[in-house]
Amino acid sequence: MKKVLILLGFCLLFTTQADAQKWLNKLGNAAKEAAKNTVERRVEQKSEEVTGKALDKAEESVTNDSKKKKTTPGDEEEGEAIMEDRRESSSGNSSQGTAQGTPQKLAGTSQYDFVPGDKIIFFDDFSQDAVGDFPALWTTNGSGEVKTVNIAPGKWFHMNGEDAVYCYTRSLDLPDNFIVEFDVIPDEEYRYGIQFTLYQDKTEEAKELNDDLYPGESGLHVDLGYDNWNTKGYKDTEDWITGQATRNPVIREKENHVIIWVQKRRVRIYHQNAKVLDMPTNIYPGVKFNRMRFSGWDRYSAPYVTNLKITTASPDTRSKLITEGKLVTYGITFDVNKADVKPESYGTLKSIADVLKENGPVRVKIVGHTDSDGDDAKNMELSQRRAQSVKSELVSKFGIDASRMETEGAGETTPVAPNDTPANKALNRRVEFVKQ
């Protein structure tokens, strides 16, 4: 107030009466604006308080209602776990952290339920191709080249042709039940997405390069849009069988791990630790897939792809481990030169944990293996750390007694295939469980 009076005094001393009136008007407007802002802040603060109280009451009501519902023992346990997860997610603290007043990291449960089999049908990470070259085992009607990127390790196939197709040149022999996995980085211009296609070639007119909109006599399109997923089963003279989902679409300029599980006519897609689409009849009966390709119908987009892998699905874990005494798995995966177990390993770890829980006396040795790339001693140390990480996951996530498991690293010393191609190297990178 003193500052206002002093300023007013200067106005009266050094200005005309008209100028003084202008100053007074400005001061009046400023005062009105300040008062208005003060009122708005108070209203906003009061609104937040009222809203917070309403949300607290709503949460309390939901919690009380959930407790009153009749459930089976299993449902009650699952319901309590869900409510606990929700409370932890909203507060950012675990139950222990809340009790002690110390923050805890947010934790979630993976929803991956697929289990890769013990046979690798196809693998390509473009490690055999020179940077700047087009991949040796692929062909296109556009352009593309192998590159490295600054946000992820390894080599990546940059599919940068306009309205182009990218076909794997060799025929495949895919079973009724298999899993396709690959990493993709959509660029910043990614709009309509990239399309991955599995199809059955026409015997009488097989094509190494097939740029038809619907190649072969029948097949499956999977569209990876920036805002949705679309699937389309097709067959000559028949209508499309379509599916769509909007959950967890691929993220631009990020490394995305995409999983497609084909089980006869059923198609399931996984991304970001969750199942995003499940179509029980998305493929026509009797289709025998033997070809694959990517297509870039989006002229604005040039995505990067690597670590393309096809495996059999759902091995008989119980028989392999208990009856045969040894389980070789490619379903437990790690980043290059790292020992942290990746989220997509959840299904495989759960299946092994289930067998161990059902067979209490059984003890196992967990053995890590690497390929021959890099230093021998570092590979040995890496395989040891990976085996220990697997054990830690089984203990912490699934409650398996640590005393029932021992670990060992074999490094590159016991290959099951020559280390001469990406596919053979993938066979050597494995985790084995040996019954003791």
pLDDT at 87 over 50: no
Give the angle 124-390-425 at the CA atoms, nearest 5°. Answer: 25
% of the chain exceeding 90 in pLDDT: 65
Q: Which CATH architecture has domain 116-313?
A: Sandwich (2.60)
Q: Which residues contact 146 (CB under 8 A, 6 or more apart)?
A: 126, 129, 130, 131, 132, 133, 134, 135, 155, 156, 157, 158
Q: pLDDT class for 192, splitting at 50, 70, 90?
A: confident
Task: Look up the pTM and report it.
Answer: 0.73
pLDDT at 96 over 60: no
Query: In the prediction, which pLDDT does 12 show?
Result: 39
CA distance 106 to 262: 32
CA distance 13 to 17: 10
pLDDT at 135 over 70: yes
pLDDT at 289 over 70: yes
Q: Which residues contact 108 (CB under 8 A, 6 or more apart)?
A: 85, 273
Q: pLDDT class for 100, splitting at 50, 70, 90?
A: low
pLDDT at 88 over 50: no
Query: In the prediction, which pLDDT does 102 show?
Result: 60
pLDDT at 71 over 60: no
Q: The tokens of 48 are what?
A: 């937040």
Domain boundaries, the chain: 2-100, 116-313, 317-435
CA distance 429 to 370: 4
More confident of the two residues 150 and 100: 150
Read off the amino acid at residue 91: S
Q: At the topology level of CATH, where does 317-435 sit?
A: 60s Ribosomal Protein L30; Chain: A; (3.30.1330)
CA distance 405 to 392: 10
Three-class secondary structure assignment of 404-422: HEEEEEEECCCCCCCCCCH
Q: Which tens digit of pLDDT belongs to each residue from 373-402?
A: 999 999 999 999 999 999 999 999 999 999
pLDDT at 95 over 80: no
Q: Taking residues 153-165, what's their average pLDDT?
A: 93
CA distance 245 to 174: 26
Sheet holding 218-224, edge to edge: 138-140, 164-168, 291-296, 194-200, 218-224, 229-235, 241-245
CB distance 84 to 107 below 8 Å: no
Q: Which tens digit of pLDDT belongs to each residue from 244-254?
A: 999 999 999 99
Neighbouring CB atoms inside 10 A of 227's CB total: 10
